[in-house]
Every structure is written in structure tokens, then in C-alpha cells.
Chain A
Amino acid sequence: MTKKIDHIPPIISSADETLVLASLEHDQLVGAKKHLIPRRHLKGPELVVLWSLRLYLLFMMAVVLYQVWTVAR
């Protein structure tokens, strides 16, 4: 039975590996980005601002749809 290989990893030469180590910062490496940045705890005033703007946007989108509806009529 043969196993299907979807993707063959590219071969990285030693010269390229040296170049990567010399030229990129550690957290620039694709592999290093797999770590999530820790979640930030949002404080009360921040939540108020975020919710206010969210409601503002929803309301304004309703206004835009109303305008489209009136123009279409």
C-alpha cells in the first residue's frame, strides 16, 4: 500500500540556513509565529468605547441601507 504525499517539503541548503539565521530576527521566522500573542484583558472604559463604536457602525449601516432603499424606490 502506498501512502499519498500531498506536499514535499522544500530542501533548504546550509548556505540558505546560515543566511536566514544571519538576516532574520527570531520572531520573523514563520515557525516562530505559531505562538499566539497573549490575550489582553479589556478594561471597562475600553469595552464601553468598543461597544459604542460597534453600535454606531451598525446604526450607520442601517442608515446607508435606508438611503439605498429610498433611492431605489
Chain B
Amino acid sequence: MKPLAAQNEDEVVVITHEDVDRAHDRSRVSAARARRGFSSNARLLWLLVGPGVLVMLGENDGPSMLSYAATGAKFGIGFFLPFVALTFCMAIVVQEMTVRLGAATHRGHAELIFDRFGPFWGWFSMIDLGIGNFLTLITEFIAIRAGLGFFGVRPWIAILIALVILYAALMSHRYWTWERITLAAAAFNLVFVPVALMTHPSWPAVGHAFITWQPLPGFSKDTLLIVLADIGATVTPWMLFFQQSATVDKGMTTKDIRFGRIDTVIGAALATAAAIATILATAPLFAHQMTSDNFEAAQFAQALQPLIGRFGASLFALGMVEAGIVAAITISTSSAYAFGEVTHKPHSLNLPMGEGKSFYAVLTLCALAAAAIVLIPGLPLVYVVLLVNVVAVLAMPPALVFLFMLVNDKEIMGDLVSPLWANILSSGVVFVLTAAGILFGISIIAPNIFAALGGK
């Protein structure tokens, strides 16, 4: 490390390897920004796209794709198509705030909560994140195991393959390379689109569903669970922590916020396409009156095989594997970022192994522990999968309130505080999530009251 002439007389700031790597990435952005024209803008977009697409496609993970598959199989084409698109709009509102926060403060989400609100509230949010991330990580390995199981791969080999891919993405010790490898893997999430096309969906019915939001599902406990699972499939606490930390690690500044927003919208559009494609792909199971209760990823692929053939079913199973792998990479990275931010240990994907021992150790240990749990024989994995999205929805309102307070904090955000319309939208998201959680609670502890409200 080399001492640097500080801005403050009595302050000596050192330059690290991480700074140099980030500066190389930023110099390319500056060079692209200095030029004019369409190609320069396209280049700038290519350089700045990443955290938004990764967070959105990362959230199209194992349990999420399973939720969408269950939605299609249980309810067919109808209300849930526009509803899922709406949940991604909610995700854009929420994630855009993390881009602004990261670009304005150059601090991760966990770090800001600890610094601004103190360790008491900081630890609460870290416990929420830690439990949620670990449960979700387990479900990613369940998806990988189930997806590869379709091809006859043994569980331990499937888990080993996933761990090798996760480790390979880390080996570059460069944020940029890691991001590009993970983006390439995440693009495979769109494999659900050709699968949906193979089922020859009724496009007039799809159009009708988007315009009228009908047919409506009956108001029942099952419907509520699917509604909650589909919301939890698009907005979860780890996404806030990940996108803000990745924005900081990428070195984005306030000049890049416009591209950060575009990145988020592109990610949401791609993820919506994959989610809706999954609902369309499994909708024929509803049409054929096939019950899909307790289906796992591979069982959906097997059920679809008579309708779309072995190739289509294989693509579906591979899509589940991809969803699990990309999410395992992003979620374990989110945990490692948060740990480093809270403990003030080095935390960046630009760190060489020697300088980022704790960062890489947390990342690897989270993945290894979750992978090991999935291999325990006789564990009720289906319960975990069903509960993860519900837990995510329940944990979201407290996480959103911290985000809301931070992004409206003039001392750290300056002129980049949220405008009124953004505050109204984000308050609406908090209200919807809290109401959904309360309805879920009523349906469990007081099913009679729920039935009186019109449910079954």
C-alpha cells in the first residue's frame, strides 16, 4: 500500500489493490462518457449494466421459479400474469433507491444502517438478513439438486458441480470478471421463454389476462399462499443489500445513476419475461387438471415431458439449475458483503484472496453449509422451499423502512433524496407487503375469521 496525499491535512489515506482495480474499471467508464454518439452510449450501458440485471435475475431463483411454476399449474393463464408483472414494478421502485444510496454514499446497505442507526437496529437487520439468506441459499441447492436429478445426476455430484461453478466465478478476484461470468449464467434464465413457446400458449387468453386481470382466482388460503410466494419471488431483503453493495463495489457514482436505473429496469423486464414464461409453461398442467401440490422442480419437468417432449422438459430442468446457481452466487455474495461492512473487514470482489480472507471465507462457508444441509437424508426440503418466499415477504417491511429512512436522509443523500412520488410508491409497497403478511397470519391462526372474510 502507498500513502496518498490526503484531502485533509492530518489524514493519510492509503491506496490499495482494490482501489487500483476499481480505478481501471472507472477509467473505461470515463473514456466512454467523454465520447458522444449512440455507440458511446451503448458502450457506457455495457460497462455500467450489472447489479440491476444480476439482482433481478438472481431473484428469479429456485423457490421463485417453483412459485411461478406452481402458479401456472394451479391457476393457469389469468390474474397472476399481470400480478407478477406488477410485483416486478414494485421491485423496480425499491431497487432504484439502493442504486441512489450506493452511488451517493459509496457505502453498502448494512454499513449505512449500522452507522446511521447504531448497532442495536443494525444487528436486528443483520439477523433478518442472515436467517433469510441462509434459508434461501438452502433452497437454491434444493433447486440445483432437483434440476440435475432430472438427468439422473446424484445429489452429491449435483451439489459439487454447483460449488465448483460458484468457486470458479470467484477465482478471477475481479468484480468486473465475476459480474460478467454471473451475467452470462443469469442470461440462461430466459430458457423458460422457449419452453413456454413449446407449450403453444393461447395468445388471446394471455392478452385478455393482461388487460382484464381475469379470470380471478378464488379467495382462499391456497391463493393467499401463492400471492405471498409470488411477491416474495420478486422483492426480498437480500436484494437491497446486494444491489447497493454491488453498486459500490462496481464504483458507480452519482453520474451513473441514470444508467443504474436503466440497468434495474432491464433486469426487471428480463426477469418478468422469464417469470411469465414459467407460468405459461406450466399452465397446460392446469388445463389438463393435473394436481401439482408438493411438486419439486424436476417433477414439473417430468409432468411437462408428455406435452413438450424430452428436449423441452430438459430445458425446464436446466432452467431450475441455472436459477439455483446464479442465486447461490449472488446471495452468498450478499451475505459476505454485509459481514464485511458490519465488521469493517475488507469486502470486495476485487480483493485478492490474501487480502480478503474473511470476505471469501464467509462467502464459501455460507455456500458450503447450505449445500451440506441439502445432502442430509430425509430432511423435509419441501417445507423449506414453501416457507422461504413467505419469510422473505414478512421480513421485507422492516427492511424497507430502513431503506426509506436512509434514502430520505438529507445529510447523506443531499439533493438525491427521494422525490414525493417515489415516497408515495415505496409507502404503497410497504403497505401491500404488510397487509399481505397480516392476511397470511389471520389465515393461519384464525382460519374461521378468514373464512368469514370470504376465504375457504
Contact = CB atoms under 8 A, between A and B. Distances in A.
Nearest to A59: B441
Given A28-B106, A46-B405, A20 B19 contact: yes
Contacts of B401: 49-50, 53
Interface string B206-226: 000000000000000000000
B15 interface: yes
B354 A7 contact: yes
B105 A37 contact: yes
A23 B16 contact: no
Interface residues of A, number: 46
A68 interface: yes
Contacts of A66: 444-445
| Interface residues of B, dominant DSSP | helix
Given A22-B27, A27-B106, A28-B253, A64 B124 contact: no
A56 B124 CA distance: 13
B16 to A, nearest CB: 5
A21 B437 CA distance: 49
Which among B18, B23, B118, B387 has the highest number of chain A CB atoms within 10 Å? Answer: B23
Contacts of B115: 36-39
Contacts of A72: 380, 383
Contacts of B395: 57
Chain B residues touching A, range: 35 or more
| Interface residues of A, dominant DSSP | helix
B444 A63 contact: yes
A11 to B, nearest CB: 8
Contacts of A25: 106, 253
Interface stretch (B1-9, B58-66, B278-286): B1-9
Given A28-B251, A71-B383, 19 more contacts: A7-B354, A10-B355, A11-B2, A12-B1, A12-B15, A22-B23, A23-B30, A24-B19, A24-B22, A31-B12, A33-B107, A36-B115, A40-B117, A53-B398, A57-B395, A61-B394, A63-B440, A64-B394, A66-B444
26 contacts: A10-B17, A16-B15, A22-B23, A22-B27, A24-B22, A24-B26, A25-B253, A29-B15, A29-B19, A31-B4, A31-B15, A33-B107, A37-B107, A37-B116, A39-B118, A40-B116, A40-B411, A54-B398, A56-B437, A57-B394, A59-B441, A61-B394, A63-B440, A64-B387, A64-B390, A66-B444
